[in-house]
Each structure stands twice: as C-alpha cells, then as structure tokens.
Amino acid sequence: MAEEIINRVAGSKLITFDLEDLYPKGKRETLDISEWLDQGFILRETQFRESIKNHDWQQYSGSFVALHCSTDAIVPAWAYMLVSTHLQDIAQKTIVGSLELLETILYTTAIANLDTTPYHGVPLIIKGCSNKPVPPNAYLLLIEKLQPVARSIMFGEACSTVPLFKKRA
C-alpha cells in the first residue's frame, strides 16, 4: 500500500508575501516636457506657460505620472514644479523621472505603510515571480521592513526557496 503524500507546505505556518499585492491600482503615464521647449531644448517661459495652459490635463485623471525631458535640455526645477501644479488635483502621484523610479517611489510608500503585525515570529517567503513591474529596490525595502519581526525569510516559491535570514534562537 502506498504511503499518503502529505503537503508539509500547506500545513506549515509559512506565509507567502507577494509584492504585487502592494501594487497601487491606476494607469502609469509619462509626460515628456520637451515638446513644450523651443526646438526641444530651450525653455522660453512665455511659450512654456502657454503650452501648459493649453494642454489637456484630464487625460491624466487618476493616473500616476512620471515627468521627464527626452532631450538633453537643461530644465530648471521650477518648470517641473509648474507642470505638477496642473496635475495636483488630477493625478494620484507625480514625480520627475522614469517609470521605474515612479514604481520605486510607489512601492517605497506602500512598504513604509505596511502593517507588520501579521508577520511577527512567522517564517516568510517573499514571492519572486511577478506579472507587474516590481522594481528590484522594493525587495530590499521589504526585507528591511520584515527582517526585524519575521522568524525567517526566504525568497522564491514554496517548492523552491532561497534562505535569506533566520532569527537566532
């Protein structure tokens, strides 16, 4: 008679933490301000302000927006600040930089606000695969947040993990 197969992972106190669960819902947008610069390089204040005034800002409603300049123009800080004043009540979040930086900032906020109570004294697996853009820095921020409270932390999937940390007894 064959021995019954027991799923030890299902019966353990092991908790899988999926960073995708912290992914803020909302469209991601990039806004290239070079189109508002003379020849893509020179910021002429009057022309810049006029372009901003005539822009359709509602297209960013509820979005996360990454402002950038795709040319090598030297853009003063006030220009990005001026653009952000138009997105203030429309977009969920506006940053200057790439989409990857935007994701990093969103995850930094989410991890900082994470309640670690459910993870006190338990073994954790930080899930490695994701379908959403999880920046590499998010994994470091997460382990920094959970290491003080978790009993152990592994990376990967329950069937194949890499041990990262184990609290000394």
| 34 & 86 share domain | yes
Structural domain includes residue 96? no
Q: Can you tell me whether residue 30 is helix, strand or coil?
A: strand
| 58 & 80 share domain | yes
How many domains are contained in the chain? 2
| 35 & 80 share domain | yes
**Whole-Å CA distances, 10 to 3, 146, 151, 153:** 18, 22, 18, 17
| 12 & 52 share domain | no
Average pLDDT over residues 36-59: 96
7: DSSP letter = -
Q: Looking at residue 31, what is its pLDDT?
A: 98
| 84 & 119 share domain | no
For the chain, percent of residues with pLDDT exceeding 90: 85
Look up residue 112 and give its two tokens: 């900082």
pLDDT averaged over every residue in the chain: 92
Would the pLDDT of 48 be above 80?
yes
| 19 & 36 share domain | no
| Residues 19-46 pLDDT 10s | 999 999 999 999 999 999 999 999 999 9
Q: Whole-prediction pTM value? A: 0.85
CB 20 within 8 A of CB 131: yes
| 132 & 156 share domain | yes
Q: In what order do the strands lie in the sheet with 64-68?
A: 28-32, 64-68, 93-96
Structural domain includes residue 65? yes
Structural domain includes residue 2? no
**Whole-Å CA distances, 75 to 62, 71, 152, 154:** 26, 10, 47, 44
Among 5-19, 57-71, 92-106, 140-154, the least confident range: 5-19
Among candidate residues 38, 65, 91, the one where a domain is terminated = 91
Among 35-44, 88-97, 121-130, 155-164, the least confident range: 155-164
| 14 & 63 share domain | no
Q: Looking at residue 158, what is its pLDDT?
A: 75
Print the domain residue range for 55: 28-91
Structural domain includes residue 99? no
| Residues 128-153 pLDDT 10s | 888 888 999 999 999 999 999 999 99
